[in-house]
Copies of this chain bind each other. A is one copy, B any other.
Amino acid sequence: MKRSLGVCYYPEHWDEAVWAEDARRMAEAGIRWVRIGEFAWSRMEPAPGRFDWHWLDRAIATLGAAGLKVVLGTPTATPPIWMVEKHPDMLPVDRHGSPRKFGSRRHYDFSHAGYREECRRIVRLMAERYGRDPHVAAWQTDNEYACHDTVHSYSDAARAAFRDWLAQRYQSTDALNRAWGNVFWSMEVTDWSQVDLPNGTVTEPNPSLSLAFRRFASEMVVEFNRVQVEEIRRHSDAPILHNYMGRVTDFDHFAVGADLDAASWDSYPIGFLSDRIENEPERKQTFLRQGDPDNQAFHHDLYRAVGRGRWWVMEQQPGPVNWAPWNPAPLPGMVRLWTWEAFAHGAEVVSYFRWRQAPFAQEQMHAGLLRPDSEPAPGLLEAAEVAQELERMPEIDLAPAPVALVFDYESAWAWEVQPQGRDFDFWRLAFAAYRALRRAGLSVDILPPDAADLSAYKLVLAPGLMRLSDPLREALARYEGLALVGPRTDTKTEELAIRVPLGPDLPGLDARVTLAESLPPGAEVPLENGGRFLHWFEHLEGDAPVAWRTLDGRPAILGNGRVRYLAGWPDDATFDGIVRGLCAEAGIETLDLPDGLRVRDTARHRFVFNYAPEPLPWAGTILIPPAGVFWESR
């Protein structure tokens, strides 16, 4: 498949006189796609029912005339002030009960029916007007669902909708009381109006309630998005996407993705390194201007799964951003590296955010491809270089990966509700497993929790799945490769109670978790051959053979057939040892890579990326410079 570049553009920010020149320069740089419209509601509908589409007509026409394909965004992430005046109760409410006010973005509650209908209305009008426009080649719904912690709202609207949802799910309060164990602490209810949202209790609320609220909130996002998809589909055949964010687990992306044609995400490697990745300070220092060497790849692979193979980078960091705790500039070459890495993982389009740095408002310190004075910023030159390389490059097609990692949003919620230890979560564990695979030079596919067929993979990792889906349990039973599950896997019921008989219930594996320990920083469980568990350790019982032991003789990995259960959270070196051992057993070739070098295999190429700030050797004879991208035929 031929991959291409895009850019995010805000015609409403600029004098109409420069649009044509901007479009010309985009095209000249090799850009093929331009995303517009997603924050422009106050310009489309300046007052309730009063519309102005003309400027947008002209913008699309101008961009199209330059040969650009338009991604048209729905503006529902930024309802105008008149909307809030019309629906004062549409504002999301924080966990302390304070409404979160107008004045920035995402100031709406996903469960507010009135606002949802307003969104249906504006999207219908856009779809009617632009659904058949030849320049509109794709759609984006809303913008970055969940950003700024907006999935969990404690509003009256949310409370009412949650009660309806519970009534639907449990049918009777008796059933709910039983399902949640409300007899504990006299929490039993006799009327739906007695169930409240899980904020503000004296001490922690019932974890089953907390999990139910997360499920509900996730479904509200799915429903909110579906309304827009329905309206667009009525009038347009162009693919519909949403731009997800990094390390967001507040809603089930697989469920939202099921309604869309492709996934996309907003990749800010340096911002994310700063504000959402756990790393020792020295390691953050090393990758300060490059970003974590695995975080982009992880999300590429995750969103490829969410998009069922089709995905984009909708926003690619092109220089320093404004929103992280600190905002250094990328190392020269990194914009190119990030772009190539996305393509190597299968991105159809990599679209930079944004064309010209806005000199005003919240993101004025966020770099663009152009400076505020319209001169080229460093990112533009690197983007143009990629465009030229793409021209010369044979098509990039994906190859099947030898290993898969299962990722499950519900498990993330379950860990969040019931961490049992302060400093870890499901995402971090899944990412730790992913990193170990990457350090071994492996290309990875990520699978949803209901994956029903594992046969394409020699090795499957499924750490931390608190509950196992029926399809996955059955797939594991049929599976002939090697699977590593645990810790915490299959130890809980759908309602987040402990499974009795004790889990896991895995095919051919007699093992159960009798007790779980969480460990503070500094504490560890040493293993018999030098490794160690951090954070978490489970006491296992069962007849399954012990594949690896703790130093004091307890099971660290149980099982010798096709399914192994991992009793703890290995540190990086231990995870490396585990992964390499499993690969050797499964017949998967691994690599010894210097830290910072990462590899990705496509159908015809092996790509090598140097995230390190110094040159690193590859294949004995080649020295890849910092931020260097190298590829060779396979």
Residues on A lying within 8 angstroms of B by beta carbon are 10, 12-13, 39-43, 46-47, 75, 78-82, 85, 92, 96-107, 147-148, 150, 180-190, 194, 196, 198-209, 274, 281, 284-285, 288, 319-320, 322, 325-329, 357-365, 367, 371-373, 375, 377-378, 418, 420-422, 495, 497-502, 512, 514-520, 522-523, 539
Residues of B within 8 A of A79 (CB): 186
A369–chain B nearest beta-carbon distance, Å: 13
A281 partner residues in chain B, CB cutoff 8 A: 522
- Please give the distance in Å from A299's CB to the nearest CB on chain B: 21
| A101 contacts across to B, CB distance below 8 A | 196, 199-202
Cross-chain contact of A41 among B103, B186, B205, B420 (Cβ < 8 A) = B186
**Residues of chain B contacted by A320 (CB below 8 angstroms):** 515-518
**Which residues of B have CB within 8 Å of A207?**
361-362, 364
Task: For A202, give its contact among B10, B92, B190, B284 (CB under 8 Å).
Answer: B92
Contact A500 B372 (CB under 8 A): yes
Instruction: Contact check, B326 vs A360: say whether CB atoms are below 8 A apart.
Output: no
**Which B-chain residue is minimally distant from A14 (CB atoms)?**
B183
What 5 pairs between A and B have smallest CB-CB spacing?
A: A181-B360, A184-B361, A42-B186, A359-B498, A78-B186
Q: Are B188 and A42 in contact (CB under 8 A)?
A: yes
Question: Secondary structure at chain A's binding surface: helix, strand, loop or mixed?
Answer: loop
Docked pose: A325 CA to B519 CA in angstroms: 9
Contact B98 A202 (CB under 8 A): no
When A103-B201, A200-B101, A359-B497 are in contact, do A502 and B373 touch as well, CB less than 8 Å?
yes
Beta-carbon contact of A522 and B285 below 8 Å: yes
Look across to chain B and name the residue whose beta carbon is closest to the beta carbon of A319.
B515
Q: Which residues of B contact A96 (CB under 8 A)?
A: 96, 98
- Decide yes or no: A520 and B75 within 8 Å by CB, A186-B41, A361-B185 being known contacts: no
CA distance A203 to B97 in the complex (A): 17
**Per a CB cutoff under 8 Å, which of B181, B362, B516 touches A204?**
B362
* Docked pose: A206 CA to B39 CA in angstroms: 14
- What is the CA–CA distance of A363 and B203 in the complex, to the nearest angstrom? 12
Contact B422 A325 (CB under 8 A): yes
Question: Contact check: which of B41, B201, B373, B418 meets A102 at CB < 8 Å?
Answer: B201
Shortest distance from the beta carbon of A628 to any chain B beta carbon, whole Å: 17
A514 to B577, CA, bound (A): 47
In angstroms, how far is the closest chain B Cβ from the Cβ of A491?
Answer: 10
Q: Give A468 Cβ to nearest chain B Cβ, in Å.
A: 17
> Within the assembled complex, what's the spacing in Å between the Cα atoms of A47 and B42?
52
Q: Which residues of B contact A367 (CB under 8 A)?
A: 515
A42 close to B187 (CB less than 8 A)? yes
A-B contact pairs, 15 of them (CB 8 A): A13-B181, A40-B183, A43-B186, A81-B187, A81-B189, A104-B201, A104-B203, A181-B360, A205-B362, A206-B361, A207-B364, A319-B515, A328-B518, A359-B499, A359-B500
Q: In whole angstroms, how far apart are the Cα atoms of A357 and B498 in the complex?
A: 10
Across the interface, name the chain B residue whose C-beta is closest to A107: B202
Residues of B within 8 A of A196 (CB): 101-103
Q: B203 to A515, Cβ gap below 8 A? A: no
The answer to whether residues A184 and B288 also contact, given A98-B96, A202-B105 and a CB cut-off of 8 A, is: no
A329 touches which of B102, B420, B515 (Cβ 8 Å): B515
Contact B183 A12 (CB under 8 A): yes
Q: How many Å from the CB of A147 to the closest CB on chain B? A: 8
State whether B285 touches A185 (Cβ < 8 A). Answer: no
- In the assembly, what is the distance between CA of A582 and CA of B12, in Å? 47
> A189–B373 Cα gap in the complex (Å)?
27
Inter-chain contacts of A519 with B (CB < 8 A): 326, 328
Complexed CA–CA distance, A172 and B504 (Å): 67
Known contacts A201-B104, A422-B325; is-contact A185 B365 (Cβ 8 Å): no
- What separation, in Å, do the CA atoms of A367 and B515 have in the docked complex? 8
Residues of B within 8 A of A516 (CB): 320, 365
Chain B residue with Cβ nearest A363: B184
| B100 engages A202 (CB within 8 Å) | yes
Q: Report if A373-B517 is in contact (Cβ < 8 Å); known contacts: A188-B42, A200-B99.
A: no
